[in-house]
Each structure stands twice: as structure tokens, then as C-alpha cells.
Amino acid sequence: MSALLDRISVNPKQCGGRPCVRGMRIRVIDILDLFASGLDASQILQEMPDLEADDLKACLIFARRRIDHPLLAA
């Protein structure tokens, strides 16, 4: 799984420091928005031919890890 996450890069000089796919100017949030709008993986890959199936998996894993964190009660 960590190999997939290597596909996600964060560069403060690119896309405002937002996470992108393989250094391209395709943000993780763009991929998540396409999934949320109802497109499936094959449709997204047709829309964005520079992407690979593992890029989509990496975006989903990245997002899951970002929201799955423990909350500490004070």
C-alpha cells in the first residue's frame, strides 16, 4: 500500500501545496470529485488519459488515511 501512496506528491510550489498525482497538476481532490459525481474508474481514466488505475487507488487510500485518525477526548 505504501508503494501506491508514493504516487501522491505534495509540493508547496505546485497547486498551492495540495496533494497531486505523480507530480502532475492533477489534484487528489479532483479525482475524488469525479468519483463523487458518479464517474467510475474507467470513465475517469478515459477523461484523464495520463492517469493509471493505480493513481486512482492511491487517491482513495490517501483520502481514507487523511480522514481516519483518532480523536482524543480532552
Residues near 56 by beta carbon (within 8 Å), at least 6 away in sequence: 31, 41, 44, 45
* Confidence band, pLDDT 50/70/90 cuts, at residue 63: very high
The CATH number for 39's domain is 1.10.10.10
CA dist 56 and 21 (Å) reads: 9
- State which residues form the domain around 32: 2-63
Q: Does residue 46 form part of some domain?
A: yes
Q: Does residue 55 form part of some domain?
A: yes
Q: Is residue 70 over pLDDT 90?
A: no
- Nearest of 15, 17, 34, 13 to residue 60 by alpha carbon: 34
Q: Does residue 71 form part of some domain?
A: no
28-52: per-residue pLDDT in tens? 999 999 999 999 999 999 999 999 9
Q: Does residue 68 form part of some domain?
A: no
12-33: per-residue pLDDT in tens? 999 999 999 999 999 999 999 9
| H or E stretch at 21 | strand 20-21
Q: Tell me, yes or no, if the pTM score tops 0.85.
A: yes
